[in-house]
Amino acid sequence: MPVRNAEATWKGTLQEGTGSFRTASGAVEGTFSAETRFEDAPGTNPEELVGAAHAGCFSMAMSAALGRAGATVDSIDTTADVTIERLDSGWEITGIHLVSRVHASGIDEDGFQEAAEGTKQGCPVSKALRSVPISLDASLVS
């Protein structure tokens, strides 16, 4: 099985420092800071990257689930809203909300929702994030 790799470097104090990250393929790289992570400053952060990974994983797994159910998939558009909050115990990801709009045919609404719920529970990123509440709004668009 393949092992995927990414690296990150942080320089300086938490409030004044900056970080950078890069995937081994070089396809994704960027910088981040305390302001982009814990405030609303423009730029990326680890939670945004978790969201991208989760949305991508869900979309691929949903395509597979629908294919197994006999549906024909045209496209799947998924967003992941990742919430990070400061709790008494420190900063924590407290929820992920997936919104998926699926253009597919050959499946009814009940079968679609069953596939969506199974995908929410079973995609590898969802499994890795089991300690985080994950909600889903999945719609079949004809």
Cα separations (Å) of 108 from 52, 74, 98?
28, 15, 21
Those residues with Cβ within 8 angstroms of residue 7's Cβ, 6 or more apart along the chain or in another chain: 21, 22, 24
> What's the pLDDT score for residue 1?
84
More confident residue, 39 or 103: 103
What pLDDT score does 117 carry?
97
Question: Average pLDDT, stretch 52-73?
Answer: 97
Q: Which residues contact 136 (CB under 8 A, 6 or more apart)?
A: 97, 98, 99, 100, 116, 117, 120
Higher pLDDT, 126 or 1: 126
| Predicted confidence (pLDDT) per residue in 77-92, tens digit | 999 999 999 999 999 9
Query: At residue 142, does pLDDT exceed 90?
Result: no
Q: Are strands 29-33 and 6-11 parallel, antiparallel or unpaired?
A: unpaired
Residues 99-126 pLDDT 10s: 999 999 999 999 999 999 999 999 999 9
Its pTM stands at 0.93
Above pLDDT 70, what percent of the chain? 100
Residue 128 φ then ψ, to 5°: -70, -25
The predicted-structure confidence for 2-27, as pLDDT tens digits, reads as follows 899 999 999 999 999 999 999 999 99
For the chain, give the mean pLDDT: 96
**How much is the pLDDT for 114?**
97
